[in-house]
Amino acid sequence: ITLHTDTRRVFVSGEEVTLKNKEYELLCFLMSNADIVFSRETLYERIWGYDSEAEINVVWAYISYLRRKLEAVGANVRITARRGQGYLLEEIA
């Protein structure tokens, strides 16, 4: 995965993946902290912020959107859920 932070564009194996703003922010955060588990609450605070009017379940929804988009282009990473702990981005072997 290649992130172009100046234009907020994402490429997987040269193919552009269109992401919404929060999807992009979530992916950037997870990529910057690969192999670290983050609780849903932590992801919510980091991406949506304390003042957000969104429900905390929005984290699950955006994780799901990102998973589908990354799988569709054959990305070599996946977002894994650790039961009772949270989510992490890990490389697929």
| pLDDT tens, position by position, 2-40 | 999 999 999 999 999 999 999 999 999 999 999 999 999
**Residue 49 amino acid letter:** G
Two structure tokens written together for 65: 């959107």
Structure tokens at 43: 């992801």
What pLDDT score does 52 carry?
Answer: 82
Residues 53 and 74: their CA atoms lie apart, in Å, by: 33
Query: What is the per-residue burial (b if ≥16 Cβ within 10 Å, else e) of 62-86?
Result: bbeebbebbeeeebebebeeeeeeb
Q: Work out the pLDDT band at 93, boundaries 50, 70, 90.
A: confident
Examine the pLDDT at 91 and tell me if it is beyond 80: yes
